[in-house]
Amino acid sequence: MNRKILVTSALPYANGPIHLGHLVEYVQTDIWVRFQKLQGNQVFYFCADDTHGTPIMIAARNRGITPEQLVNQIRKEHFEDLTAFQVEFDNFYSTNTPENRALSEEIYLKAKEKGHIHKKSLNQLFCTHDDMFLPDRFVRGTCPKCGALDQYGDSCEVCSSTYRPEELKDSRCSICGNPPVEKESEHIFFQLADFQKFLEDWLKTPNRVDEGVRKKMHEWIDQGLRHWDISRDGPYFGFAIPGETNKFFYVWLDAPIGYMASSLNFFRKTGQDELFDAFWRSEENEVYHFIGKDIVYFHTLFWPALLNAGDFRTPTSVFVHGFLTVNGEKMSKSRGTFVRASTYLKHMDPECLRYFYATRLGAALDDLDLNTEDFVQRYNSDVVGNIANLFSRLVSGIASKLDFRLSSELSTEGKKLFDRVAGKKQSIIDFYENRQYARAIREIQSLSDEVNRFITEKEPWKQIKGDAEAARQTVTDAINAGMALALYLKPVLPVLAGGVEELLALENPLRFDSDLEPLPAQHVIRAYRHLAGRIETSAFDAMFDEERIAADGAGQTGASKKAGGGKQAQKSGAGEKSDGPGRKGKENKEASAKSTAAGKGMEDQSPDGIITIDELNRVELRVGQINSAEFIEGADRLLRIQLDVGEEKPRNVIAGIRSAYAPEDLKDLKVVCVSNLKPRKMKFGTSEAMLLATGKDDTLTLFTPHRSALPGDRLG
């Protein structure tokens, strides 16, 4: 029976443009949604612009327009940017809507009726210069918990703690920079502590959140849940609280309710009103939130408690991703790496970014680094070299000379190849279902290597000169295997996959819920059309230059901070990553200590980590081919590998790659290893080489040489 699934991404804040950090989440979500739809499930993907708060009011005032005009303009820009990256929402709405107002009031009044609301007079920060109470994010200062500098007034980006603005040390107004004063005001609180038992039980449900998130939540719960201030004093752009004077709902109360409002709007306008209750008042169907790790507290504590108070169901799971860095560093306007979506689109195809993100995304909380050289190499090698080139050389070079007609059936070898590729469909399905996109891509590329190897061995460009039917058979065998690869890539590269479907003149689109069958006898395909083109690192240079110039022209206003235009980053969970005070210094000290402890031979090492060519030449990097791999009993991170490095006997290697690779996936894989490393005796045996890899956990990726490399070949 097909599943009914409702999916959301965090709401971008309506005071600035979409950037590459935001796109991590939207691409991640869209891939999962497309996959689920290809499985035959009924899936709805909802989002909206988060439109309320003082930053919107101030930004509109500075532009000389109303807040309503501003949020409508920004929403249009956001939607255009996101759809350009093939992110397909069923509805992209706004939190400044009648549906959101009604739902916010309903949840609040039910919570109040149940006794979960109380009032309390408190001293609030007030700016005498701007004559206004300062919302949380219009106060900057030092975190009272960990001492991190320049933090927001409600939560710390470094330690994720939440607190009141008055608790900040050395606080200042983010608008004018003056120290605020305290002024008494009556506020309305949601009694989060009332829901401690409920939240503890909610967390016990398997797969509710990632294990790392679960541990952090237990830590917060164990510290004791604090009452949550859900009101803000006017002037404020937002919803007035029913029955109160000059009090407005805090933006974080009505923002997640925007998920519900977007779905309600869609179901009403499509005549499916009953589906709102089917998703939000019943546990029968599935609800999933994709968010960034900086907004975990709001989505896993406040949000479930609010839903419970309002008699609505809670999400099935909350999927959390890490931050984006660029070339190993946090996004920076001064370096030009804080790239807007609109800037990227001037220089590069959006599917390039979708593919690279997929190669780096797993189910864990790990940050994702956009290394520009790796980005270009991976796309050119994997997509252009392995996939597009496969169809190009078969169709343009061979099939075009054979009237584009395929053979009557697969050859014996071709059937084995097709069965091998099609037989991996369930593995690919499992990877997508569990959001292990990096593993799916590795599997797909391994299969594409096999198909390309088949073509290279058959040499149809030579066959066509003397045996046209043999060439036709090779094209038929390889095209059918390539069709399966197009299906596997369809959630990530929908445009490229659509191009393959058109090229192959398929009667029905490729789907995961349909059997993979060879094309009909003597099927006629179409002439080749461009599927993908090579990219250059110069495109990134141009992007960075454009953003750097734009930042200089804007006086580098720091748009990643909410007060200057950046709650957007905070809401999406994909903004700048904060190192925190002294983090780099701590890492350097640890590195220094490790170097000192390494003993003799380290004294002459350059203090900046640079080595000489002679030192480099001592390291032998060689191609190895994995003969076999197996689990090691009692070791949950290790695999035992037999590695052929061109010697008389294979070497025994113990590698910590179990989180990313299954033993059966490694057979015959060519890798790069350090071959002259001194054998190391370990608990589970002796390891006689080291495999080279990047990443960690389920995004770990082994370095692989070109398919023509042989075991024992030396690199460099």
Domains with residue ranges and CATH for the chain: 387-503 (1.10.730.10), 619-702 (2.40.50.140)
Query: What's residue 555's pLDDT?
Result: 52
**pLDDT in the model for residue 122:** 87
Nearest to 51 by CA among 62, 41, 59, 43: 59
Which of 131-135, 329-333, 637-641 is least confident? 131-135
pLDDT number for residue 605: 38
> Average of pLDDT values for 281-307?
96
Q: How far apart are CA 422 and CA 613, in angstroms?
A: 47
Reading phi first (left if > 0) and then psi (alpha if -120 to 50, else beta), residue 502 is in: alpha
Confidence bin at 638 (pLDDT 50/70/90)? very high
CA distance 651 to 625: 10
How does the average pLDDT of the chain come out, rounded? 89
pLDDT at 414: 98
| 206-257 confidence digits (pLDDT tens) | 999 999 899 999 999 999 999 999 999 988 999 999 999 999 999 999 999 9
The pLDDT > 90 percentage for the chain reads: 75
CA atoms within 13 A on the CB side of 9: 31
Chain centroid offset of residue 549 CA: 28
The DSSP bridge pattern shows strands 329-330 and 324-326 to be antiparallel
Higher pLDDT, 501 or 604: 501
- Of the chain, the end-to-end C-alpha distance in Å amounts to 55
Choice between 485 and 551, residue whose per-residue pLDDT is larger? 485
- Asked whether 568 and 16 are in contact (CB, 8 A), the reply is yes
Taking 70 as the threshold, does the pLDDT of residue 579 lie above it? no
pLDDT > 80? residue 558: no
User: What's the confidence (pLDDT) of residue 554?
Assistant: 61
Per-residue pLDDT tens for 41-70? 999 999 999 999 988 998 998 899 999 999
Confidence (pLDDT) at 290: 98
Looking at residue 585, its pLDDT comes to: 34
**Residue 311 neighbours by CB under 8 Å, 6+ apart:** 110, 281
